[in-house]
Structure 1
Amino acid sequence: MRHIKNRVLSSVMLAVCALIVPFTASAVEQEMKYVAITAIVEHPALDNVKKGVEDELKDNGYIVGENLKLQYQSAQGSSANAAQIAKQFVASKPDVIVGIATPSSQALAATTKTIPIVFTAVTDPVVAKLTPSWDASKTNVTGVSDALALETQIDVMMKIKPNLKTIGYVYSPGEVNSTIVLKQLQEILTPKGIKVIAAPAQRTSDIPTAARSLKGKVDLIYTTTDNNVVSAYESLVKVANESKIPLVASDPDSAGRGAIAALGMSYYNLGRQAGKIVIRILNGENPGDIPPQVGNVTQLVINTKAAERQGVVLSDEILNMAAEVVEK
C-alpha cells in the first residue's frame, strides 16, 4: 500500500514539475524590460534619434507591450522641465534611460549615479561632464556623440562660397555643444584669415534678430545642431532668403528645411547606434565598461531651390559629392 501511495505521489510531483518548467521558461522569455527616453526638445533631428533607438529595440525582439515598457517625454526646450523629467524617470526605476541631447543627458546624470544612462546627440561628453574621458567611464553613463570633423564642414562652405572671408554663426550661448563648436571654428579659421562673427540667440524667438544682425557683415551663415536654432529653423531660413546669405548646416534634415547644404550625422543611424548600446546593457553589460562612441554615418544633402533663393550657383563638384539632392 505504501508503494502505491509513493508511486501516486511521484506521479503527481512529475505532473506538477511538467507544468512548472514550461511556465518558468515562458516567464523568462517574456521578462519585461523598461526603457525611458527623454529629449530636450522635439525637432526632426532629435525625433529621428528617438525613432532609431525604438527601431533598433524592435528589430532585436523588444516589443512594446510584450517584453518592453517604453516611456518618452520631451522637455519642450526647458532645462527646468528636463530636470523634472529626470527625477520622474529615476523614481520609476527603468532598466536604462536614454538622454537625447546635452541638457537632457546632463539632467539625468545629475539625478542618478546608479541607473544606466545612454546619451546621444551630444557633441562632447567630456566637456559636458557626462564622462571623465573618451574611455570607458566606470560609471553609469555611456553613449554616442554626434561630433563632426569641422575641417570637412569648412570644405563644404568653401565650395559654396569660394572667396569666403567671414562666417556668421547663430547659436544659443546656453548650449555647451554650440559654444564648443564656436571655439573650434575660431581656432581653425583665424589662421586661415577667415573671421567668425557670433550671433547669440538665447531663445528661439531671438533667432531672426540674431540672423538679421549679420546682414552685410558675413559671406555665409553656418549652423550646428543647436537645439534652439534647429527647432526654429524656418525663421532663420526666411532671413537668409531675404538677405541673400547662403545658409550651411551640420544637420542633414536642415537642407530639406531651407539650408543650401548640410553635412552631418544621420541622426536616425545615431539613434540605431545608441539603441545597440541600450540592448547590450539590457543583456547584462555594465555601462561603465562601454566606452563612448562617435556616430559612424555622415551624409551631405544639397537643396538646389534654396541655393537659387539665396543667390548661389552650385558647382558640379559639390552636386556630385551629395548623397541626396532635394528641391524644396
Structure 2
Amino acid sequence: MIAHIRKLFEVVSVGIFVLSLASQAGGQEIPRVFILHSYELEHVCGEPQHVGVLRGLAESGFTEGVNLAVQTFPMDTKRVNNTPQLMRLQAELAKKAIRAFSPDVLVTLDDNAFRMVALEFVDSQMPVVFSGLNMRPETCVAGKRWLESREQPGHNITGVLEKLHSLTALRVQRKILQSLDTVFVIADNSTTGQAGMEQFHEELAAEPHDFAVREMVTDSWEEYQRQMLAACNDSEIDTIYPMALLLKDASGRAYTAPEILKWTSKICRKPSIPINYSFVKLGVMGGVGVDFEHMGMQAGRIVGRLLKGEKPGNIPLEQAERYALVFNLKRAKELGIVIPEDILLAADYVYTE
C-alpha cells in the first residue's frame, strides 16, 4: 500500500511538473516576438526576411513553438492597402494588435511598418528591431528623436539597413555582357521607391566608376510601360535596373512586383538586374541582388541578443552584409546570353525554369 501511494505521488508530481511547463509555455514566461510586415505575407521582399528572422532567433536559442511565441501582422501596403488612408488604418490596427500581444520585441520588415508603426513606440519599454530599412535612418525621424548615432542608437530601436550593392551588381553584369556602359533605372514614387533611388545614387557616388545612368520615377502603369518600351528599344541602353514595385493605372488598379516584372520580361529583350534575388523567379535574368533572408537573419540575431538582456540603445545599426548571386538560365537563353562558367559556379541560386 505504501509503495502504491509513493508511486501515485511520483506520478502526480510529474504531472504537476509537466503542467507547470505547459503553463509557462502558454503564458508570459516564454519570450514573445511580434513580426510586422509592411506588405503581404508572401511578398518577395518580406517573406524571405521573415524566414531569416526566425532562423536568426533559432541560432540564438529561441525556436517558435518551443520556447518562443511569435505573432505576425501583414499590413499589405503594396497590393491592397496602398492609399494613405488605408495605410493609416492598417497602422492603427497593427498598433492595437501589438499592444494586445504585449511582445518582448517588435520586429518590423521594410519601410512602411517602420515609419508608420515602429516610430510610435519610441522610448517605450518595448525594444524595436527593424529589417530592410531603405530610408536613411538620419532622415526618417518623423518628428521623433529615435537615433543618436548609428554606432550608439541610444533609444529603444536598432536594426539592419538594406544595402543594394548596386555598383557590385553593375560590375558583375558588365563581366557577363562583356560590355556595359549605360543602365536604365526606373523606380516608383513611394517612400520605398524614393529611398531605393537615393541609395542607388549614394552607392554609385561612393566609388569611382564609368557607368552612365538614365533614370525615371513614376507612379503610373501607363507611363512605366511607355518608358520601359522606349528603353528596351534604345540601342544605347545595355541593361535595366527595375525598382518600381507599386504602380497604378488610370482606373486605379494596382500593379505590384509580380505583374510589373513579368510584363517587363515579356516585352523587353534586354537583360535586367534584380534588386532582390526573388525577382529572378519573376523573369529577371539575374546577377547581384539583396540577400533578404540573410538580412532577416541579422535582425533575428539582434532580437536574440535583446531577449538575452542586451539594451537596444547599445547595439549598433547594421547594414545588410550579404548579396546573393542568382540567375535565371531560361531567361539568359531567351536573350542569347551565355553566363561565364566562373560566375555561374559562384552563384547562390540558379533557376532553370
Normalising to structure 1: TM-score of the pair?
0.79
User: 5 Å matches for 1:94-113?
Assistant: 94-113=103-122
**Which amino acid letter does the alignment assign opposite residue 287 of structure 1?**
P
Gaps of 5+ in 1: 1-17
1:34 alignment partner in structure 2: 32
Deviant stretches of 4+, over 6 Å: 203-206
User: 5 Å matches for 1:32-71?
Assistant: 32-42=30-40, 43-58=43-58, 60-64=61-65, 67-71=67-71
Matched, 1:290 2:315: yes
Contact 2:166/2:200, CA 8 A, preserved across alignment: no
Q: Quote the offset at 1:314 in angstroms.
A: 2.7
Q: CA RMSD in A?
A: 3.3
User: 5 Å matches for 1:1-328?
Assistant: 30=25, 31-42=29-40, 43-58=43-58, 60-64=61-65, 67-77=67-77, 78=82, 79-92=87-100, 93-113=102-122, 114=124, 115-123=126-134, 124-129=136-141, 131-174=147-190, 175=192, 176-184=194-202, 187=205, 192-202=209-219, 207-217=224-234, 218-223=237-242, 227-228=245-246, 231-328=256-353
**Which amino acid letter does the alignment assign opposite residue 45 of structure 1?**
C
* Count of equivalent residues: 307
Q: Quote the offset at 1:58 in angstroms.
A: 4.6
**Which amino acid letter does the alignment assign opposite residue 39 of structure 1?**
H
Separation in 1, partners of 2:351, 2:22:
49
Separation in 1, partners of 2:68, 2:98:
17
Q: Quote the offset at 1:234 in angstroms.
A: 4.5
Distance 1:315 1:180, change over 3 A: same
Q: Which moved more, 1:280-289 or 1:180-189?
A: 180-189
Gaps of 5+ in 2: 1-12, 248-254
Percent of aligned pairs sharing the same letter: 24
Separation in 1, partners of 2:103, 2:285:
42
Separation in 2, partners of 1:192, 1:133:
30
**Which amino acid letter does the alignment assign opposite residue 110 of structure 2?**
A
Q: Which moved more, 1:112-121 or 1:159-168?
A: 159-168
Distance 1:314 1:57, change over 3 A: closer
Q: Quote the offset at 1:88 in angstroms.
A: 2.0
Higher CA-based Rg: 1
**Which amino acid letter does the alignment assign opposite residue 76 of structure 1?**
D
Q: Per the alignment, in what secondary structure is the counterpart of residue 305 of structure 1?
A: helix
Q: Quote the offset at 1:104 in angstroms.
A: 1.1
Normalising to structure 2: TM-score of the pair?
0.74
Distance 1:284 1:195, change over 3 A: same
2:3 alignment partner in structure 1: none
